[in-house]
Amino acid sequence: MSPFSLTLGTTSHRFSSLSELMAKATPRRSGDELAGVGAASAEERVAAQMLLADVPLSRFLEDLLVPYEEDEVTRLIIDTHDANAFAPVSNLTVGEFRNWLLRYETDAPLLAALAPGLTPEMVAAVSKIMGNQDLVLVAQKCSVVTAFRSTIGLPSRLSVRLQPNHPTDDPKGIAASILDGMLYGCGDAVIGINPASDSVAAVSTLLHLLDDLIHRFEIPTQSCILTHVTTAMRCMAVGAPTDLVFQSVAGTQAANNSFGISLSLLREAHDAARSLKRGSVGSNCMYFETGQGSCLSANAHHGLDQQTCEVRAYAVARAFSPLLVNTVVGFIGPEYLYDGKQIIRAGLEDHFCGKLLGLPIGVDVCYTNHVEADQDDMDTLLTLLGVAGCNFIMGVPGADDIMLGYQSTSFHDSHYLRQALNLRPAPEFEEWLEKMNIVHQGKHLIPVAPNHPLLPEN
Amino acid sequence: MKSELTVSDPWSHLKQFTAARIAIGRTGGSQPTAAVLDFRLSHARARDAVHARFDSEALAAQLHTSEIPTVFLSTAVPDRTTYLLRPDLGRSLDPASRASLTPSQPGLALIVSDGLSATAALNHACATLVPLIHELKEEGWIISPVYIVPLARVKVQDEIGFALGARFTLMLLGERPGLGTPDSLGAYFTANPNLNCTDADRNCVSNIRPEGITPADAARKLAWLLKESRRLGLSGVHLKDNQAVTIASGQV
């Protein structure tokens, strides 16, 4: 394929490959500079964006950024591409595709029909030339609805993953955080625990704890222990009550191998979870997490920028009809996303790209203490994602995850977003909250009586 | 503050089971002012810890009080911002420091860095090293001076240990501060250090601070692990922690 070049004034900009063009067109972030693939100057970045805007979308089906022979994620992307779905935009360039997406006429049904015709590379490319408001507006047009015991992603709904982590997996400590979240009306996306221990015995104990709670109070939600997929498979084999199977996924085969997974392993886990038929209103039973920088971190990025790698991970997730896909945007640290500005941009990109590819995507709006960010940055990203129609966010007591040592969003944050944007919980969960005297009309918290049935006796 | 403006949560008795910020109450659906300011203070302390200047001379003076010799080395990192952005630079010594090391072949090479919390290194490194050195010396270990290496990552221990021809290296450095833990120290050691070592070859004792694993307890556990490691001739994932030591992967 021919190289790309553009002369601006007296400066000639030249890019030798589509990968290089994509990387240098990416809005600035520390991870691409760490990898040595980012633009060397602000002008070079815009030159790359100008050239990228002229690339036909169809070129991404031939000029493969990671070789087909070497990488099963590339093979998945190419082999499952739906040419009929692609037809409405098949003659457009990346720049024309941005215009197409922003037209009044481009609506939710059109975008849903298009999703199987888009590849991650096309979506990553268009996101690179879109501004933050474009990313919000187009994502807002998309609708991706999934279900297990609750229905997630309906219009004007916002769900919350209740994240009741404890540094030693102490069941009483975890239960205390779950009750706190439930009484704040959270947990309709999933009650999902990051365990400290990866043993089958420890994970099974937590699975039973959540299963007992969900059944005792007839809560229309699902549980998940965020352990390695192989541990989940062993738990299912011994009959531990498993609703959702979790796995972190990345955008290249080599990075996935470093996580100890492959597509066939995920297929096996997905089949096992589906066969349990534990969902009541739907059968989406996978929960995936991703995050920009994971491929570089595993030294498996093939010279690509971190955002393109991230969107390729969505192709992996998409193949297993997940209930939830969560981009943990600010967890990885300043060497990948340096400050609040970079985290906000990355969060909007991930959400937009996930939605355009048809994923039920939520965002862990988060940061660590060694990045240049604070609660105000998180408030900004949270608000933007609410406007963009994000399927779900995290709910952590007081936004402080004492097990993983980072700051995410609080139960209170979900009430901020629900009030500010008139968003309600998943319908089944909303009904339960009303019945339990926790929330009134999906929005206002009701003062909890000391003898509330969820509370243990003093 | 007027309490009638906020709604308190009648489950504060559950706080005995977790350090999580549960039952913090609300005003409308938002966090009450006191909870917001408490959080902000925790974050401010963590931020200050990340950016605190490392007074390496003060650490050396602490160690000299216990007659422990020190040597200063530098990594390729020029400043703290670069340290945060370029973990690769913190993994290797600058050329002058590298050239200064000669193969003295100690049984154990000791290294301290500020890492992501200078406060942790300054407050807890000496208190951990003094009893550790004492115990190992009684058993005949030959121990290097303490190499103080500001702005380093864990992997620099491989280069230092290899250059010295050390049988073991042990590195103490400040961990990424959490909201309630601005001064947590981590300890990493490896047997037969060389440039090809990976995290799988390392053992770690983390959360060393008065409210976590105390420096004295950490010294005992590290001494035990080092002796086991020497007896078995290995380190890392193959060395099991029968002493129920907290072994966790670090963020450094």
What is the distance between the alpha carbons of residues A129 and A123, in angstroms, rounded to a whole number? 11
Q: What is the pLDDT of residue B249?
A: 34
What is the distance between the alpha carbons of residues A352 and B160, in angstroms, rounded to a whole number? 46
Q: Is the pLDDT of residue A423 over 50?
A: yes
* CA distance, residue B191 to nearest chain A CA (Å): 24
> Within 10 A of A168 (CB to CB), how many other CB atoms are there?
11
Over the stretch B160-175, which tens digit does the pLDDT of each residue have?
A: 999 999 999 999 999 9
Q: What is the pLDDT of residue B107?
A: 95
* CA distance, residue A386 to nearest chain B CA (Å): 16
Direct distance between the N- and C-terminal alpha carbons of chain B, in angstroms, rounded to an integer: 42
Half-sphere exposure of A227 (CA within 13 A, CB side): 26
Cβ of A407 within 8 Å of Cβ of B43? The answer is yes
Cβ of B29 within 8 Å of Cβ of A374? The answer is no
Give the CA angle between residues A380, A381, A382 to the nearest 5°.
90
* CA distance, residue B198 to nearest chain A CA (Å): 13
| Average pLDDT of chain B, as a whole number | 92
Looking at the partner chain, which of A172, A175, A410 has a beta carbon nearest the beta carbon of B31?
A410
Q: What percent of chain A has pLDDT over 70?
A: 99
Query: DSSP string covering A360-413, please?
Result: -EEEE--B-TTSB--HHHHHHHHHHHHHHT-SEEEEBGGGEETTTTEE--BHHH
Looking at the partner chain, which of B39, B85, B181 has a beta carbon nearest the beta carbon of A335?
B85
Q: What is the pLDDT of residue B1?
A: 61
Contact criterion met (CB below 8 Å) for A146 and A284: yes
Cβ of A402 within 8 Å of Cβ of B84? The answer is no
Contacts of A70 (CB under 8 A, 6+ apart): A253
**Mean pLDDT, to the nearest integer, of A406-412?**
97
Over the stretch A156-196, which tens digit does the pLDDT of each residue have?
A: 999 999 999 998 899 999 999 999 999 999 999 999 999 98
Closest of A156, A112, A234 to residue A442, by C-alpha: A156
Cβ–Cβ contact B39 with A under 8 A: yes
Q: Is the pLDDT of residue A249 over 70?
A: yes
Q: Is the pLDDT of residue B222 over 90?
A: yes
Q: What percent of chain A has pLDDT over 90?
A: 95
Cβ–Cβ contact B89 with A under 8 A: no
Residue spans per domain, chain B: 51-249
| Average pLDDT of chain A, as a whole number | 96
Cβ of B178 within 8 Å of Cβ of A405? The answer is yes
CA torsion angle B71 B76 B82 B86 (round to 10): -120
Q: Is the pLDDT of residue B90 over 60?
A: yes
Residues 49-108 of A with CB under 8 A from B: none
What is the distance between the alpha carbons of residues A200 and A238, in angstroms, rounded to a whole number? 9
Q: What is the pLDDT of residue A71?
A: 98
**CA A442 to each of CA A161, A184, A433, B48: distance values in angstroms, whole numbers, following the listed order:** 17, 11, 8, 40
Looking at the partner chain, which of B13, B86, B179 has a beta carbon nearest the beta carbon of A400?
B179
Size of interface A-B (CB pairs under 8 A): 137
Cβ–Cβ contact B51 with A under 8 A: no
Query: DSSP string covering B38-106, please?
Result: HHHHHHHHHHHHHH----HHHHHHHHHHTT--EEE--BS--SHHHHHH-TTGGGSB-HHHHHH------
**CA A407 to each of CA A169, A174, B60: distance values in angstroms, whole numbers, following the listed order:** 19, 17, 34
Q: Which residues of B touch A398 (CB under 8 A)?
A: 20-22, 24, 31, 35, 39
Q: What is the pLDDT of residue B246?
A: 38
**Mean pLDDT, to the nearest integer, of A44-73?**
98
Q: What is the pLDDT of residue A312?
A: 98
Residue with tokens 């000669």: B102
Contact criterion met (CB below 8 Å) for B226 and B135: no
Residues 224-263 of A with CB under 8 A from B: none
Over the stretch B97-123, which tens digit does the pLDDT of each residue have?
A: 999 999 999 999 999 999 999 999 999
Direct distance between the N- and C-terminal alpha carbons of chain A, in angstroms, rounded to an integer: 72
What is the distance between the alpha carbons of residues B47 and A373, in angstroms, rounded to a whole number? 10
Closest of A335, A344, A286 to residue A314, by C-alpha: A286
Residues 150-179 of A with CB under 8 A from B: 164-167, 170, 172-177, 179
Residue with tokens 């998309």: A142
Query: DSSP string covering B215-236, please?
Result: HHHHHHHHHHHHHHHHHHT--G
Contact criterion met (CB below 8 Å) for B83 and B90: yes
Cβ of A370 within 8 Å of Cβ of B86? The answer is no
Q: Is the pLDDT of residue B252 over 50?
A: no
Cβ–Cβ contact B220 with A under 8 A: no
Over the stretch B53-88, which tens digit does the pLDDT of each residue have?
A: 999 999 999 999 999 999 999 999 999 999 999 999
Cβ of B22 within 8 Å of Cβ of A419? The answer is no
Cβ of A33 within 8 Å of Cβ of B19? The answer is no
Q: Could you tell me which residue, A347 or A3, shows the higher pLDDT?
A: A347
What is the distance between the alpha carbons of residues B9 and B32, in angstroms, rounded to a whole number? 12
**Mean pLDDT, to the nearest integer, of A287-300?**
92
Q: What is the pLDDT of residue A458?
A: 56
Cβ–Cβ contact A407 with B under 8 A: yes
Q: What is the pLDDT of residue A197?
A: 84
Q: What is the pLDDT of residue B233?
A: 85
- Which of the residue ranges A127-131, A159-163, B179-183 would you say has the lowest mean pLDDT? B179-183
Residue of B nearest to A401 (CA): B20
Residues 316-375 of A with CB under 8 A from B: 333-335, 338, 368-370, 374-375
Q: Could you tell me which residue, B243 or A167, shows the higher pLDDT?
A: A167
Contact criterion met (CB below 8 Å) for A366 and A161: no
| Residue B154 DSSP symbol | T
Looking at the partner chain, which of A172, A173, A335 has a beta carbon nearest the beta carbon of B86?
A335
Chosen CATH of B51-249 out of 2.120.10.30, 3.40.50.150, 2.40.40.20, 3.40.50.11240: 3.40.50.11240
**CA A240 to each of CA A69, A210, A234, A265: distance values in angstroms, whole numbers, following the listed order:** 39, 11, 9, 19
B191 by DSSP, 3-state: which? strand
Q: Is the pLDDT of residue B236 over 90?
A: no
What is the distance between the alpha carbons of residues B81 and B97, in angstroms, rounded to a whole number? 21
Determine the length of chain B: 252
Cβ of B18 within 8 Å of Cβ of A170? The answer is yes
Residues 177-196 of A with CB under 8 A from B: 177, 179-180, 183-184
**Mean pLDDT, to the nearest integer, of A3-21?**
96
Cβ of A405 within 8 Å of Cβ of B50? The answer is no
